[in-house]
């Protein structure tokens, strides 16, 4: 089953559109072992409430070799729990370097089922990621309009719309399935733009980061979804993983609350 099919099936079966982000910050822990235990505990308790999980590669890379080992452990644990994995790496480069990134993060032991990808070196640089994802039944999420305030420096004035059109074009090459293997990142912090991007990319899964700590609210996200509540995944990281310090029970309850708020927003 492809990533798009698996995450959509899980959305329908468990009635959840929540993507749980894992951003393990070393400064919050006694040591790497403490970080490891808490990260795996958060993953386990939130899994029944989530459509997918999104490890942020930067926080694992910052730990060096132990971080890569933990990432492999997280991916393996997620798969045992039935959770599709989106690696949030925002990778993008030219030629053989893009091919290496694609191989590294979309195939192999520490690979995800999907990867976030930066298109701003040119649309041709997306090809290795698209091809590798398709060859492994995976997906990519192309940055279209990100959740941070500074995105307006480069993503305004029609640029995001141009990227969205390219995402839709690439997705048209996926002839089978309800949703294409080329999705888009559109920040939950831009609710006024969601209907536009939903219309520009009708078969793309939309990843909506910024729920919670960055100010995105579930009540405003309905325009990103198709009837029936599919087609988008709302991501929360700090608002779940550090809902009340390192209290794992609080993380579970935060995930439950966000899942329920998203469901309520969709009627």
Measure the CA–CA gap between 93 and 160, rounded to whole angstroms: 19
Q: Which of 15, 54, 90, 145 is catalytic?
A: 90
145 catalytic per annotation: no
Is residue 243 within 8 A of residue 220, CB to CB? The reply is no
User: How are beta strands 114-117 and 86-91 bridged, if at all?
Assistant: parallel
Computed over its alpha carbons, how large is the radius of gyration of the chain?
Answer: 17
* Complete DSSP assignment for 57-121: HHHHHTTTHHHHHHHHHHHHHHHHTT--BEEEEEE--SHHHHHHHHHHHHSSTT--SEEEE--TT
Catalytic residue positions, numbered: 90
């Amino acid at each position: 089953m492809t990533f798009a099919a698996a995450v959509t099936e899980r959305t329908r079966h468990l009635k959840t559109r929540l993507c749980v982000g894992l951003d393990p910050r070393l400064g919050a822990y006694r040591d790497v072992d403490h970080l490891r235990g808490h990260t795996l505990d958060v993953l386990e308790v939130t899994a029944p409430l989530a459509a997918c999980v999104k490890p942020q590669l930067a926080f694992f890379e910052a730990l060096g070799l132990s971080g890569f080992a933990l990432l492999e452990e997280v991916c393996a644990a997620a798969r045992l729990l039935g959770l599709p994995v989106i690696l949030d790496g925002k990778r993008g480069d030219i030629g053989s370097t893009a091919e290496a990134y694609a191989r590294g993060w979309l195939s192999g032991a520490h690979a995800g089922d999907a990867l976030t990808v930066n298109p701003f070196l040119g649309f041709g640089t997306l090809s290795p990621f698209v091809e590798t994802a398709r060859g492994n039944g995976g997906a990519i999420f192309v940055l279209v309009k990100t959740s941070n305030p500074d995105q307006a420096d480069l993503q305004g004035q029609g640029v995001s719309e141009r990227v969205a059109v390219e995402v839709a074009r690439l997705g048209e090459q996926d002839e089978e399935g309800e949703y294409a293997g080329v999705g888009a990142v559109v920040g939950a912090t831009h609710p006024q733009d969601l209907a536009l991007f939903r219309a520009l990319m009708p078969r793309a899964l939309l990843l909506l980061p910024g729920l919670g700590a960055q100010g995105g609210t579930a009540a405003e996200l309905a325009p990103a979804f198709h009837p029936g509540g599919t087609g988008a995944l709302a991501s929360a990281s700090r608002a779940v993983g550090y809902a009340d310090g390192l209290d794992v029970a609080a993380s579970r309850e935060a995930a439950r609350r966000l899942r329920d708020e998203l469901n309520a927003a969709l009627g």
